[in-house]
Structure 1
Amino acid sequence: MDLITRRQFAQLAGTGVVALSLGGVLAGCAGGSGGSGSDGSKGSDDAAGGARPSQVIVSMTPGSEPAAGFDPLVSWGCGEHVHEPLIQSTLIVTDADLNFKNDLATSYECSEDGMTWTFGIRDDVRFTDGQPLTAHDVAFTINGIVNAEASECDLSMVREAVAVDDATVEIHMSKPFNALLYTLAVVGIVPEHAYGEGYGANPVGSGRYLLEQWDKGQQAILVANPDYYGEAPKMERVVVVFMEEDASLAAAQSGQVDVAYTAATYAANQPAGYDLLNCASVDSRGISLPCVPAGGTKSDEGGEYAVGNDVTCDLAVRQAINYGIDRERMIENVLNGYGTVAYSVGDGMPWSSPDMRCETDTEKAKRLLDDAGWVLGADGVREKAGVRASLSLYYAAGDSVRQAIAAEFADQMEGLGIEVNVKGASWDDLYPHQFTDPVVWGWGTNAPVETYNLLYSQGSGNYACYENAAVDDYLDEALSKPNVGDSFDLWKKAQWDGATGAAPQGDAPWVWFANVDHLYFVRESLKVAEQKPHPHGHGWSLVNNVDQWSWA
């Protein structure tokens, strides 16, 4: 299956969308700030004097706008920046504690060998064109993703979906993969009878909201689905405007949005009449440390690339970096304190291991380097067998947080005798270095699949070129468990089983720093419902439960 890759998605998001004037962006919203007046009150009167429905205006990053529209078979709701699709229903959902709950499904079970999932489908759901939703639509959607030439959703572990009857669908696997449930919680079901070219711009779904209007590059407007089978949304209209950070701040300062995303560098500029909402995240920042010597090659979807690094291939260097970094200092200097220390890509999740924790110990880091034969030179840079402990560290140009992380990392490594040359680059220029040099990456979802992608020898995110047969075995065994909860201990063992694993005291293929807090300016009179931990990507995950938001 051909996918829109993480690389391609990052390139699309990196192009951005030029922020238009605020007047132009909100031109489709009669009554200015819509659901709330400038004083934050609920609703405002339109030109005819009638009461407007409950409405909220939310700013999001330009990269949050779905390039292919609101099409789950391409990227809407799934892929790297996961979120509930809102316009379409899903088989299951996750609650604030990430427990699975039925949505379209009335029941589900997995065969003992992990190769067949069976879902019962409720019979009271209709698409917005009046046609019933059946198991045939579910099978159509899943098979459409599996066979799509351009899908960001990874269902490569699925062989096919079969509608047994109108109320039962079976998903036949090519290999056991219980993390499928996390993916299905964000895959919106589309109608077989109404899917085709142009669907992304005019989606037909059965979810909580309808797409009322989409002005590309500017805004998307969702309205409550009057025929929704579940609890009616409290927030009847959701206006999403796409803008850069500085424009988002300006929109809040002028009272033109009700929720404005922001970053740590802007957090002190809290507008009058707004609270600062701080959402915990699993949006992790870390650096890959290539584990093999230079000289090899590796192929991925973009072609064949050089592999290996003669400095980070030394285990002592990778472990020293993990022990030598002061993560608290990193968070304070780079994020102004708006973040939490991270030791893995999934800290705090049920599958994360406490053995990933690595307290700062610069003396231990120096001893590791000394004992491994890395001798401090007159210029303050260590050397071993003619190899200088000098690294190039790449980050995506234009990302101020990653740039600051790279600079802080270089400053801290200097104290260990490791020279770090920071290099900002476009994604096109960065990817040729993905397997040879350390790179500042952003990862994180509410699912263990990213641990798999980063640590599995054939994982799609294995930029560290890490291979450990025991880790692969643990990950395979974890995914084969019919009950997801039974897999968590195996995920932890892949990180550290007491003798081997990816932990800092083990193979240390990555060094992790922080989970970045997701910050929003929110109008004081707006009640935002309890949030799940936010995944990577500062966008639609905030409005997963916008139907439960309300005005005071």
Structure 2
Amino acid sequence: MERRTFIRLAATASLSAVLPATLWGCAGNDAPSSAPAGGDAAPEGAAAATWGVGPNGESQVIVSMTTSSEPAAGFNPLVSWGAGEHVHEPLIQSTLITTDTNLNFQNDLATSYECSDDGLLWTFRIRDDVKFTNGEPLTARDVAFTINGIVNGEAAEADLSMVREAVAVDDFTVELRMVRPNNALLYTLAVVGIVPEGAYGPDYGQNPIGSGRYMLEQWDPGQQVILRANPDYYGEKPLMERVVVVFMEEDASLAAAQSGTVDVAYTSASLAASVPAGYSLLNCGSVDSRGISLPANPAGGQVEDGDVVYAAGNDVTCDVALRRALNYGIDRARMIEHVLNGYGHEAFSVGDGMPWSSPAMKVATDVEAARQLLEEAGWALGDDGVRAKEGTRCAFDLYYAANDSTRQALAYDFADQCKELGVEVNPKGGSWDELYQHQYSDPILWGWGSNSPVELFELTYGDGWGNYAQYKNQTVDANLEAAQAQVSIEDSYGYYQAAQWDEATQTGVAPQGAATWVWLANVDHLYFERDGLKVAEQKPHPHGHGWSLVNNIDRWSWN
């Protein structure tokens, strides 16, 4: 999603002024005296550090993340920790269930769970050997407290709106009583950290108490977070005993790797060729998709969101032939080479390759077919190279986030390719506050991607919070509702696929149907990884460089 709070750090403007003081300062007086391999000597008066070794001789890794990865509300699952835009495992807290690298559900706190035949009651039985880091046992009451806190919390970003209430039946059994059947519950529970009812308060985000793999050792807002392995963790002991996460802009992340002061540094396609000595490029597959929403109705409509009223509709993109032509006429492979230097792959939906994705969403580039669609729909080519129909020029604005160079480049490449079709696209960069004003009336270049079908539902369902196209179809909605109502997750996949394209009814949002989006690329998540570090196998990364990389950091190790 794009609804984020950006944390701007003036301190990271000068790496030499901030990073060495921060990281060298972590080493403590007992650190070894040698500098990191390929790095600079420690600043005068500061203890030096050795990569892979923490201040007390423990195994340690230092990872850079984007400034937007720092949790503004702290490490509080009842607000946004683990949820929101960059979904990830909460590390500090345990979850009822989790997912493996193939996205299959695995028990964590839960020992078993089941759903009633009508989908309205989920029962979870939990372990009886778990303690919070304050020494108190974790019980079903803590689970119920956490879930009810999210259900009733106005600030909560985890979506548990399908739950009416959570009830602790006994110390180790909790029931989730549903408002409606919705198996998407499981995807959310896999990232919701359980907090202690007796120790939860206003400052919990700054001083979290959990039962997870790690404990918060230190948080220097605007700079870094340090996690230390929980010695009383009930599961397998973490191999990586200390984790330092530093928040910085992209250029500073590269400089940190070049100076040898981080072990894993996030980077982008434009900088991927600048691999520092002593590092290799780590390429993590993602479902981080870039796509353009295409309003499906004529201009003049409105969308009400609380007290805010947005203009809706577009007199050019409301023509389904135009939307289909854009899907067929764009050479995504060419775009990936031009903009991403090959570090990505073609996108045709939100969630390509996931079990709920539909092969019907994939189209082959066919510029001539796209031109023919436009001709047959009455879009005649003018002397200026731009098509027109009944006095309306085939031209529209395309909005993108001005602070994102990749989206800017994608927007301009898309505009160049559209010229070949006789379609005039005018890229316009702006802040997200500006973009939101146009979300229902103009095409916008978005970033989406999740290890859950929730985004597919919300971007496609008639009343979904992400249905920017404002396309509404009863058959599509019925398939989406049926998908969520299945007791078995596996049984939901076919319904999700039918919502994208139902061959029997010839309906759906696929390019041959309503074509409500033109998806462009899935962006690879790139990192500079220090030689000698073994990063464990990754799940497909959701949208955003952030905490998803370290979901399994307890399984990382040094060779």
In the superposition, the TM-score normalised over structure 2's length comes to 0.94
- Partner of residue 348 from structure 1, selected from 348, 353, 360: 353
Task: Tell me, yes or no, if the aligned pair for 2:7 and 2:72 is still in contact at 8 Å.
Answer: no
- Partner of residue 358 from structure 1, selected from 333, 358, 363: 363
Are positions 1:520 and 2:527 aligned together? yes
Inter-CA distance 487–81: structure 2 relative to 1 (3 Å threshold)? same
Counterpart mapping for 1:96-495 below 5 A = 96-301=101-306, 303-495=308-500
Task: Tell me, yes or no, if the aligned pair for 1:235 and 1:546 is still in contact at 8 Å.
Answer: yes
CA distance in 2, matches of 1:328, 1:436: 28
Inter-CA distance 504–33: structure 2 relative to 1 (3 Å threshold)? farther
Residue 14 of structure 1 deviates from its aligned partner by 6.7
Structure 1 residue ranges, 4+ long, deviating more than 3 angstroms after superposition: 14-18, 31-37, 40-46
- The SS at the match of 1:22 is helix
CA distance in 2, matches of 1:45, 1:88: 23
Deviations 1:251-275 (A, max 9, x none): 0000000000000000010000001
Residue 25 of structure 1 deviates from its aligned partner by 3.3
Deviations 1:150-206 (A, max 9, x none): 111111111111111111111111111101101100000000000010100000000
Are positions 1:502 and 2:509 aligned together? yes
Counting aligned pairs with the same residue, the percent is 68
Are positions 1:30 and 2:27 aligned together? yes
CA distance in 2, matches of 1:172, 1:299: 30
Residue 424 of structure 1 deviates from its aligned partner by 0.3
Deviations 1:406-460 (A, max 9, x none): 0000000011011011100001111110000000000000001110010001111
- The SS at the match of 1:26 is helix
Residue 32 of structure 1 deviates from its aligned partner by 11
- Partner of residue 553 from structure 2, selected from 513, 538, 546: 546
Task: Tell me, yes or no, if the aligned pair for 1:33 and 1:256 is still in contact at 8 Å.
Answer: no
Task: Tell me, yes or no, if the aligned pair for 2:239 and 2:554 is still in contact at 8 Å.
Answer: yes
Task: Tell me, yes or no, if the aligned pair for 2:96 and 2:109 is still in contact at 8 Å.
Answer: yes
CA distance in 2, matches of 1:332, 1:245: 21
Residue 42 of structure 1 deviates from its aligned partner by 6.0
CA distance in 1, matches of 2:127, 2:10: 40
CA distance in 2, matches of 1:43, 1:327: 40
* Structure 2 gap ranges (5+): 39-49
CA distance in 2, matches of 1:45, 1:394: 46
* Amino acid aligned to 1:460: W
Inter-CA distance 263–141: structure 2 relative to 1 (3 Å threshold)? same
Residue 39 of structure 1 deviates from its aligned partner by 2.8
* Structure 1 gap ranges (5+): 1-5
CA distance in 2, matches of 1:34, 1:448: 47
Inter-CA distance 271–42: structure 2 relative to 1 (3 Å threshold)? closer
Deviations 1:295-349 (A, max 9, x none): 0100125711000000000000000000000000110111010001110001000
Task: Tell me, yes or no, if the aligned pair for 1:34 and 1:55 is still in contact at 8 Å.
Answer: no
Task: Tell me, yes or no, if the aligned pair for 1:312 and 1:318 is still in contact at 8 Å.
Answer: yes
CA distance in 1, matches of 2:558, 2:385: 59
RMSD: 1.7
Residue 24 of structure 1 deviates from its aligned partner by 3.3
Please name the residue that 2:537 is paired with.
530
CA distance in 2, matches of 1:171, 1:129: 27
Residue 29 of structure 1 deviates from its aligned partner by 1.3
Please name the residue that 1:3 is paired with.
none
* Amino acid aligned to 1:128: T
Residue 17 of structure 1 deviates from its aligned partner by 6.1
CA distance in 1, matches of 2:398, 2:557: 45
CA distance in 1, matches of 2:276, 2:196: 44
In the superposition, the TM-score normalised over structure 1's length comes to 0.96
